[in-house]
Amino acid sequence: MKMKETGVVKLDVYNILGEKVLAVLDEELSGGIHEIDIDGSRLASGTYIYQLNIDGKFSQVKKMNLIK
């Protein structure tokens, strides 16, 4: 993820029913390039949705498949 300036970044993972199953990140990050790893060790294999939010101004929702 590339950020132009410092901001509060929140990353949550939801199951296909829309229930939050994992809060990955909720902290202030400085501007620059960041890599965020999602620890899916406590999740079952399947399809999940993750939502990335930066300062409440930018939001992105994407689907991911977890295969163990």
Domains held by the chain: number:
1
What pLDDT band is residue 63 in, cutting at 50, 70 and 90?
A: very high
Write the pLDDT tens digit of every residue in 6-52. 999 999 999 999 999 999 999 999 999 999 999 999 999 999 999 99
Which residue segment(s) compose the domain that 40 sits in? 2-66
Centre a 10 Å sphere on the Cβ of residue 50 and count the other Cβ atoms it contains: 17
For the domain that residue 14 is a member of, what is the CATH number? Answer: 2.60.40
**pTM, two decimal places:** 0.89
Provide the pLDDT for residue 35.
96
